[in-house]
Each structure stands twice: as structure tokens, then as C-alpha cells.
Amino acid sequence: MSREHALDTLRNIGIIAHIDAGKTTFSERLLFYTGVSHKIGEVHEGDTVMDWMVQERERGITITSAATTMYWRNHQINLIDTPGHIDFTAEVQRSLRVLDGAVVVFDGVAGVEPQSETVWRQADKYNVPRICFINKLDRMGASFEKSFQSILNKLTPNAVAVTIPMGLEEKLSGVVDLIKMKALYFEGEKGIDVVEKEIPEEWKVEAEIWRRKIIEKVAGEDNTLTEKFLEGKEISVEEIKNVLRKSVLNYKLVPVFCGSALKNKGVQTILDAVVELLPSPLDVVSQKGTDPKTGAVIEKKADDNEPFSALVFKVATDPYVGTLTYFRVYSGALNKGSYVLNANTGEQERIARILRMHADERQELDVIYAGEIGATVGLKATSTGHTLCDKDHQVILEKIVFPEPVIGIRVEPKTKADQEKLIMSIRKLTEEDPTFRIKEDIETGETIISGMGELHLDIIADRLKREFKVEANYGKPQVAYRETITAEANGEEKYVRQSGGKGQYGHVLLKIKPKERGAGFEFIDEIKGGAIPKEFIKPVEKGVIEALDKGIVAGYTMVDVEVTLYDGSYHDVDSSEFAFKIAGSMALQKAARAAKPVILEPVMKIEIVTPENFFGQVISDVSSRRGKIEETSERVGMKVVDAFVPLSETFGYATSLRSLTEGRASERGNLRFLCVNSGLLRRFTPRNDSYEIILQIKSASV
């Protein structure tokens, strides 16, 4: 059986944005115009296709990423609509890992918002080409120019406007296509008919100004066009599109479109841009993986005839079919009923069914090909980030790195009957969500569940009650502090025990030094001449990791540390893995105490929009919460305050702010830094310092 569409006509894209920028409304229009839906669902009416969970429809927000497939101009588009709330950032992270392109949606009134910056940096991390859509230009106070300028100032200087609006707010009538220099109107039922006309006289001068800007930017990316531009020659539409596409694929230019999804204006221009500008699987860099046996680098090309390889990027619990495993095929083809190898666990899995997902609905497939996104059911030992491959051509693809939880609460079952059910249900949810964790406090015996924020844990509690029928009591939120060191130090430890028979002997010398915030933990083996046998190196590392997990100052996990094992000794008879593990742990603790350890506190980036007469009270309140004002600005007669506030001071802040301003102010919070173990996530933030020091330990004897 051959594939329906050629590989070069396949597009894997995601919709990413800050919460309330209009992603789901935008996605619903895409489904309607491509014929997937015959009715447009509205978020405020709770009948959207992509927001299918009960919790999503009740709250009017996206919680989990939803996948669907649609067709436009003989191209197959696999679309993933992602959440905009920072608590569900893992959904964006895993989606971007397997997507080839993205559409970034902005609110035409607010422009670039806190989470807009976060998702942009996530797309940067995976080198995802993207196009922008400035939405909601029908809203009071909308400004295309200000929103476009905020993209240039805060995200990228390479943004280039491809369409501009004709009118704003209630006067928005259509958009001008700056490449074709035509006015586009959206007529018929729900704006389904795109009517191309000459640009009205009142918009011609402005259109010419904007067109010159796009010609300058595009011509600057191609020598031939540069010469034409300098000689004053006309540059054709095809030449502009060809160079623009190459520039988008190379991350040199980011096209910006505009309109209003709610008023059905400008959405089809994005569908055209997805087809014409964003990459197919053939246009992106080949996936690199490693051979699990030799560690050699293996390149996987998007080709149906190559050996099969796929990355699992999401595991979800479905009430009808059980565990749903989503995967992206990077090479080869997968047939229903075949066996594949999980390269991470070494276990074989049978693919009983292959599904193409449309939100919560499923379409059965017999085979799925390279470049496509699908799902299967019933995999027993496969988790998010695992690689499925041909057993004769093993490969492990790059894993997905997820943020660490920043907030935890105590949970206990209401009755003994709920106890076993609670643990089983939580385990299922941890398999589904990598940023949701469970641990038992050894000292108190309490069960602690951790997540990315109050809303995240609130949704978990709601799902436990509704989906899993578990009744439980929950404690107050607690902040997940971290520890690190601020200086270099050495540590030496001998673990020697004699008991009459075979004893224990392990001798370790190591040095530690701090790494940049967010760089994570690194263990370096510098043992020379066999001072410590190779079989004992791994146990030393395990001991070091255990000590880091327990912390030095106050029992919080220690992060961003480089540990180098440089010397030691062993005993021919008494040395064991256990002895070296203990010695490694004790040496790390000794070194860390001498390395000026500190406690770190997670900080939120918050944007507060308030009427001017409450501006002073809001500033004073932020300061009383140990907040730092970064900047203040104005937006449609309102004051906008950007500030950094410790996470511990933000619990219940929305309620407090409403009380302070008579319900007229709003806040949009965004964790300034989400992961303490990923080397690249520090780039998500406006500044490098992700957690702030709240306690400096100067004494070496903590």
C-alpha cells in the first residue's frame, strides 16, 4: 500500500501562543475552512473540537495538546493545538520536539506576552521554522503596528509583515497581501470565500510603505534579488515567495500575517502560508540518534524505504481504548500487527492498532509512513521520550527534556477503600504527564504530588475525582526550592569497615564547581592509571546523585553542579560497588559544604494590567511581595506592570489583585524559569538567573 500524499506535500505544524491569544478559536477556523468540521465551535460556548476535555470546556482554556489532520491545496497538514498556560508547558515542549513548523498566535491588543516569549524560546531550542499571526485585530484597542513592533523588540528582529489590516476594531474589513499587492476580503458563510480585489485608495500609500520593507528584507537574503532591488528592477511574486521560503526554512526571516479568527478574517492566508512557506519532512535536518550498543551516531532520513524509527512524544489515558501512545515516524513505515523494538528498554512491543487522531476521535490505519504523526494502543513498557525502531536497525533518538515541578501539595485518600485506587490513578497520570511527580516524604509518611503550578494540580485533582472516581484530601501548596553551590571545592572520603570477614573499602577524591543556572548536573571521570577500577566509577556517580537529591543545606535537591572524580584507591578484596557508592556520597557532601552552598527560590514573571488610578496600590503590593518591577508601560488607557515576584508570594494573587482594584485589574503569570536540569532552558528567560538566592550559607560547617 502506498501513501496517500507525497512526502513533500506533508506538513506537521503546531499552534503555539500565550493563553487567551485565540489559538483554539484559530484552530477551529482552520478545521472549518479545510472541510474537517462543518460547524465552527466556539470557546465561549464550550463546543470546540480541539478543546474536548470536560475541564477545558468548563474553563475555556486548552489543557492538553490535541492532534488532528486536515487537507488544503492537495497538502496533508497534521496539526497540534497546544495549551497557552504556563502550567501545561510540557505539552508545548513535547509537541515542538516532533513538529517541523509552527504558527505563533499573538493578541492584537497585548502583542508579545510572557508566555509568548516562553514558547518562542522553546521553538528556538528545536530550531522550528515559524510564521506569526497577529489575531484579535477586531478588539477595542487593537494595534497591528504596536504588536508587530513588540515582536521585533522582544522576540526577533527578523520579523517581516506579509499582510496588513484594512481598518481596526469594528472597522476591520480585510487584509492587504503585500506580496501580490491585492486587497483580500473574506465573504460568504463564516468568511469562507476569499475575494481578491484592487487595494482601495485609502490604503495604497500605507501598503506601498510596508511592501518596500518586505522587499528590502527578502532581497537582502538573496544576491540576485539584491542586485535587482538596487537597480530598481521589478521583483516578481514567485521570486519573493521562493526566497521567503528559503529564508523561513533557515530561520533567517519570520513572516507575520494578521486578521481576526473570531470575525473570520485572514485565516486562509495562514493555510496558504503553511503550504507555501513551512517545511515538509524532506526540508528539515535529518534526525540524529545513537546506536544503543556502540554509541555511534546514526542519521535517520525521512524515507519510506529506510528502516523504521519513531519517537514517542505523548502517552494519554483514554476512557475507551486505554493507554494511547502518540508517536512521530522519522523513517520507514509501520504496519498494523507488526513488532517493533523499544530501544530504551530493549523490549519488543506489538502494534495491534494504528490510529490517526482527530482530537478525541480516531481513524484506523493499516500502515503509517515516514513523516507522519499517529497513535497506537496497548503498549506496556513504552513511555514519553522512548524510541520505537526496527529490531535489526536499533537507534535511540534524542529524548525530550521536561521542566522540573516547582510546586507540591500533600494528598491523602478520604477512606481506606480509596487508598489503593489513589496510588494507581496517580501512577497513570504520572505516565501521561512527565511534569507531574509523586513521592513519599520519608520523615512524615505523607504522599506529595508535584506539578508546574496551582492550576496544574487543580486539574489533576479534578481528573482524579471525575475520571478515576477517587476521593482525596489535599494540603496547601508548597514551593519546590533548590540548592546549589557558588564556589569550587574538593572532597575526599574513605569508607572503610572491617567486620572479621570480608570488609568494605572505598576511597574517593572529587572536586565540584558551580555551573550556569539551568545547566544541570554533569559527572566527569578523570581517573587515570586505574586508581579506581572502571566497574566502581558508576557506583560513585550513583552515590553523588543520591547526595545531590538529598541536598546539603535544607534537604532540597542540589542543581547546576559539575562533579569531577579525579583520584582514589581500592582494595583487591574488600572493595565493592556499595563501598564506592557510600564514599562518593560522603565526598560530595563534604565538598558541597565547603563550596558556599545557597538556597534558590523560583521566581514568577508577572504582567499586571490595571487602571491608572490603582497603579500606586499595585506597585506597592508587588513590592510588599518582594517583587522587582522590571518596566511599566501603557496600553489602551491602562497601565501595564512587568515584574518578577517569588513564587511563594503569588499563591492566591489573582484574588488579592481583584480585591485591591475593585475587580478591574488582571494578571498573567509566567514562570520565569521552569527547569533546573536542562542546559538550554535558561534561554527561555529574559535573564540568566532563573532562581534567586534567598539564603547564603557562608560557613563551611553547615
Does residue 696 surpass a pLDDT of 80?
no
Q: What is the pLDDT, as a whole number, of residue 442?
A: 61
Does residue 31 surpass a pLDDT of 60?
yes
pTM value is 0.74
Phi and psi of 270, rounded to 5°? -70, -40
Q: Which amino acid is at 489?
A: A
Q: Which residues are paired to 258 by β-bridges?
A: 134
Grid cell digits, residue 103: 504558527
Determine the Cα–Cα distance for residues 332 and 448; give it in Å rounded to an integer: 43
**Average pLDDT for residues 303-317, to the nearest whole number?**
88
DSSP state of 212: H
**Average pLDDT for residues 375-403, to the nearest whole number?**
88
When comparing pLDDT for 228 and 277, which is higher?
277
Q: Which residues contact 59 (CB under 8 A, 6 or more apart)?
A: none
Phi and psi of 229, rounded to 5°? -65, -45
First to last CA, the chain: 68
- By the 10 Å C-beta count (0-12 exposed, 13-18 middle, 19+ buried), 568 is classed as buried
**Tens digit of pLDDT for each residue in 193-238?**
999 999 999 999 999 999 999 999 999 998 888 888 888 888 899 9
- By the 10 Å C-beta count (0-12 exposed, 13-18 middle, 19+ buried), 449 is classed as buried
**Tens digit of pLDDT for each residue in 246-268?**
999 998 999 999 999 999 999 99
Q: Which residues contact 271 (CB under 8 A, 6 or more apart)?
A: 30, 33, 34, 72, 73, 77
3-state SS assignment for residue 115: helix
SS3 assignment for 67-90: EEEEEECCEEEEEEECCCCHHHHH
**Average pLDDT for residues 159-167, to the nearest whole number?**
95
Does residue 616 surpass a pLDDT of 50?
yes
Q: What is the pLDDT, as a whole number, of residue 680?
A: 22
